[in-house]
Amino acid sequence: MKNILVTGGLGFIGSHTCVELIHSGFNPIVIDNLDNSEIWIKDRIEKIVDRSIVFYQGDCRDENLLRTIFKENSISGIIHFAAHKAVGESVQQPLKYYDNNIGGLVTVLKVAQENNCSNLVFSSSCTVYGTPDQLPVDESAQIKTAESPYGTTKIICEKIIQDLVRANKDYKSILLRYFNPIGAHESSLIGELPLGVPSNLVPYITQTAAGLRESLTVFGSDYQTKDGSCVRDFIHVTDLAKAHIKALDFLLQKNEGTCEAVNIGTGHGNTVLELISTFEEVSEQKLNYEIGARRSGDVEAVYADSKKSRSLLGWEAEISLEKSLLDAWNWQKTLAK
Ligand code: WQD
């Protein structure tokens, strides 16, 4: 059984990926500093897969801890999730984002190289495209200047990995550019756990529906879209998790260096108002919302050209928007008021 180091493995996408890794016969070795997660997520993962997982509490910038992990486990590949991801916070605290997101990746890569581990799946984002020149956006689209330090860290991290592959002919990496992850595991045992006021749309919707928030504000309805609200490519987190397994399989069977960026999205867009109406249908309750001003930095419309994920990885999204929103709602209902 191959050991896979999963940094940020107790986070929203990391936890769902640990479940899929085990279902696919891999053994996740998790490191997480619990900066944006809770230790009981580990218990929930173990309950879903009915076995214990190896967990190290700590930070990816801790070289000694990483060296210990590689000493104690023979690591075949790495999935690097650990990063701060709040767009708005990154504008207020850029150094926190550059230090953690870039420093963490560099340290992981350094220790991995010391241990001849050369398979890396990197958690990137469609945010690197900024406002695409055409839609759907494919991987050859121009990488734009990011709207936030968060987005800049994703662009810089991709460049770091590309340079590493250029310098080491046997290094292999896949850069997964996520669109908008939503939903929760079908068991409702794990899901999105935003700390504080959610900045992302779906947790704000489910918290409003659960009575934790007064009402949702739709940030703008005067965009050049079918109903005036922004368009996004919303993908179920379990579909997204499965894409990481396909990426790992691709790297492990590859016998020469590679660095490929791959969009992970459904390939079609939905507007914010469509998401709200779909949520009302699946939850069978009205959502309290109002139209407000645009949020600065928002892209009007972005959704994936998903051809490369099918052709290179043999992966495509399977779970519907309705099921994604129902899973998100069922998860929200398990959380304390
Ligand atoms: C989606 C749409 C908002 C909240 C960001 C990052 C991306 C990834 C996901 C980390 C937008 C609208 C939102 C609300 C609203 N990051 N909205 N009211 O900005 O597309 O992507 O988060 O995983 O890398 O860029 O996601 O969910 O914040 O917003 O109207 O209360 O919902 O304006 O159009 P975004 P989001």
The answer to whether 46 and 59 are in contact (CB under 8 A) is: no
Q: What's the gap in Å between 298 CA and the centre of ligand 1?
A: 8
Per cent of the chain over pLDDT 90 is 95
Give the predicted TM-score (pTM) of the model. Answer: 0.97
Provide the β-strand partners of residue 299: none
Does residue 328's CB lie within 6 angstroms of at least one atom of ligand 1?
A: no
Does residue 177's CB lie within 6 angstroms of at least one atom of ligand 1?
A: no
Q: What's the gap in Å between 111 CA and the centre of ligand 1?
A: 34
Question: Mind listing the pLDDT tens digit for each residue in 237-271?
Answer: 999 999 999 999 999 999 999 999 999 999 999 99
Does residue 85's CB lie within 6 angstroms of at least one atom of ligand 1?
A: yes
Is the pLDDT at 139 greater than 90? The verdict is yes
Confidence of residue 4 (pLDDT cuts 50, 70, 90): very high
Task: Report the nearest atom of ligand 1 relative to the CA of 85.
Answer: 10
- The backbone torsions φ and ψ at residue 143, rounded to the nearest 5 degrees and listed phi first, read -85, 120
Q: What's the gap in Å between 201 CA and the centre of ligand 1?
A: 6
Q: Of these residues, 56, 150, 178, 303, which one is catalytic?
A: 150
3-state SS, residue 214: coil
Is the pLDDT at 337 greater than 80? The verdict is no
- H or E, element range at 161: helix 149-167
The residue-averaged pLDDT of 273-292 equals: 98
Structure tokens at 66: 């990483």
The answer to whether 27 and 1 are in contact (CB under 8 A) is: yes
Q: What's the gap in Å between 46 CA and the centre of ligand 1?
A: 30
pLDDT at 336: 77
Does residue 216's CB lie within 6 angstroms of at least one atom of ligand 1?
A: yes
Active site residue 150: yes
What is the DSSP secondary structure assignment for residue 128, as one 8-state letter? G
Q: How far apart are CA 66 and CA 248, in angstroms?
A: 20
The residue-averaged pLDDT of 185-189 equals: 98
Does residue 232's CB lie within 6 angstroms of at least one atom of ligand 1?
A: yes
3-183+233-266+304-318, what's its fold? Rossmann fold (3.40.50)
Q: How far apart are CA 272 and CA 226, in angstroms?
A: 11
What does the domain layout of the chain look like in residue ranges? 3-183+233-266+304-318
Is the pLDDT at 19 greater than 80? The verdict is yes
**Mean residue pLDDT across the chain:** 97
| Three-state DSSP string of 117-128 | CCEEEEEEEHHH
Structure tokens at 15: 């936890």
Question: Mind listing the pLDDT tens digit for each residue in 65-78?
Answer: 999 999 999 999 99
Closest residue by Cα to atom 4, ligand 1, is 201
pLDDT at 88: 87
Confidence of residue 147 (pLDDT cuts 50, 70, 90): confident
